[in-house]
Amino acid sequence: MKLLYADASPFARKVRAVAYELGLQDRIALDFIKAVPGAEPNRELGAANPLRKIPTLLLDDGRSIYDSTVICEYLDGLVPEIALIPSDGAQRAEVMTEHALANGLMDAAVGLRYETAVRPEDARWPSWIADHWDRIDTGLDWFEANSGRLAEPINLAQIALGCLMGYLDFRFAEKGWRSNRPKIAAWGETMLSRPSFTETVPAG
């Protein structure tokens, strides 16, 4: 298998962290890809994934699997002894909703990076920026208020939350997401020190 990725992408990091947690890291070759919205289209990536997004997983038979969540579920299914996504309906919906929250906050954070560093300066929209920071704050507050959920055995939602935290540290350290959130700050210390995270730190 080959993973089209970039080390700065929190979505690609989620897949890589999942691979480590499953012990699959040595079965996945990494291929660094540059994909910036609004820039010249990367047609090589587009042939594998018309959305031109990373991560995209290429199987040995040439088929592509994406997006990051579909890749994570596929990898999880390769290792029957571990379940990062529960199979039971109600429990699964709960974990996948928490995952959707962490993942959606990653999407907002990456959108903020594009808005404030990639989009031309005169085409930025302050109300959009404020709105999306507010969503990130509201979402992190939700995890702080529901931090008991983070005591569950490791799952895909927790891995996504770790990737969100790592991305905020990487791109928006000055925002100080840990302030007034002691519970998830302490949980994050432990999560980000797992090999799945220490081996996938963005180079910058």
Residues of this chain that interact with a copy of itself (CB under 8 A) are: 37-39, 41, 46, 49-53, 63-67, 69-70, 73-74, 77-78, 89, 92-94, 96-97, 99-101, 104-105, 108, 119-120, 122-125, 127-128, 131-132, 134-135, 138-139, 141-142
Q: How far is the CB of 113 from a copy of itself (least distance, A)?
A: 14
Which residues, 6+ apart, have CB-to-CB distance to 161 below 8 Å? Answer: 98, 102, 143, 150, 184, 188, 191
Q: How far is the CB of 123 from a copy of itself (least distance, A)?
A: 5
Q: How far is the CB of 148 from a copy of itself (least distance, A)?
A: 15
CA atoms of 132 and 175, how far apart (whole Å): 13
In DSSP notation, 116-154 reads IIIS-GGG--HHHHHHHHHHHHHHHHHHHHTGGGGGSSP
Which residues, 6+ apart, have CB-to-CB distance to 42 below 8 Å? Answer: 33, 34, 35, 52
Q: How far is the CB of 151 from a copy of itself (least distance, A)?
A: 18
Nearer to a copy of itself, 134 or 199 (CB): 134
86-113: b or e for each residue (b if 16 or more CB lie within 10 Å)? beeeeeeebbbebbebbbebbbbbbbbb
Quote the radius of gyration of the chain (alpha carbons, Å).
17
Nearer to a copy of itself, 6 or 71 (CB): 71
Nearer to a copy of itself, 107 or 169 (CB): 107
Q: How far is the CB of 125 from a copy of itself (least distance, A)?
A: 5
Nearer to a copy of itself, 23 or 50 (CB): 50
Nearer to a copy of itself, 115 or 169 (CB): 115
Q: How far is the CB of 35 from a copy of itself (least distance, A)?
A: 10
Nearer to a copy of itself, 69 or 196 (CB): 69
Residue type, 111: G
CA atoms of 128 and 134, how far apart (whole Å): 10
